[in-house]
Amino acid sequence: MVFPGQKPQTTYYVENTGNVSGGVTGKSVVSWGIIDDQVVDNSKRFTSFKITTRIEERLTKTSGDHVVTSKTCDLTKLVNDNYSWFAVDPANTCVAPSAVYDGGLWWSTDATIVYDIEGDGKGAVTQETLGSPLIHG
């Protein structure tokens, strides 16, 4: 995702991962950086920036997802206070509660970001992210 406007153009990345370790675990790691080497602008960019990480199951590889657990994490202060962030750290990682694993189902981790850019008059915008690879068996 790239956010244009008066601030330096910044790219935001979300990596969703799922794992089986006693149960199904899922997390989303958000990182970001300025696209071109520009003047650093530390003024407020977002009124809000939240990510909801979901552990999802489906009956078959191609059927629709069903949300099993989810967690919403508010990253507004972190993204406003740091013009770039590439560390994998608890501060930029949203972890959904684990779920009981059933190997007969197909599992994935997915996320949605809802952000509101300060002063653009558009209000909250919802952006879906690319889900993790499916886990099965």
Domains and CATH numbers, the chain: 2-128 (2.60.40)
Tell me: pLDDT of 42 over 80: no
Determine whether 14 is exposed, middle or buried from the number of CB atoms within 10 Å of its CB (0-12, 13-18, 19+): buried
Cα–Cα distance measured from residue 106 to residue 117, given in angstroms and rounded to the nearest whole number: 36
Tell me: pLDDT of 134 over 90: yes
Average pLDDT over residues 111-131: 91
* Residues 24-39: tens digit of each pLDDT: 999 999 998 877 665 6
Tell me: pLDDT of 5 over 60: no
Tell me: pLDDT of 1 over 80: no
Residue 128: helix, strand or coil by DSSP? strand
- Calculate the average pLDDT of the chain: 89
Tell me: pLDDT of 41 over 80: no
Strand order in the sheet with 93-99: 2-3, 10-20, 24-34, 93-99
* Element spanning 20, H or E: strand 10-20
Cα angle 6-2-112, degrees, rounded to a multiple of 5: 120
* Residues 62-104: tens digit of each pLDDT: 999 999 999 999 999 999 888 788 888 999 999 999 999 999 9
Q: What is the pLDDT of residue 39?
A: 60
Provide CB contacts within 8 A for 134, sequence distance 6+: 61, 106, 107, 108
Hey, what are 110's tokens?
Answer: 């997915």
pTM: 0.88
Q: How confident is the model at residue 17 (pLDDT cuts 50, 70, 90)?
A: very high
- CB-based burial, 79-108: b 16+ in 10 Å, e otherwise: bbeebebeeeeeebbbbbebbebeeebbbb
Chain-centroid distance, C-alpha 8: 21
Q: What is the pLDDT of residue 2?
A: 52
% the chain with pLDDT above 90: 66
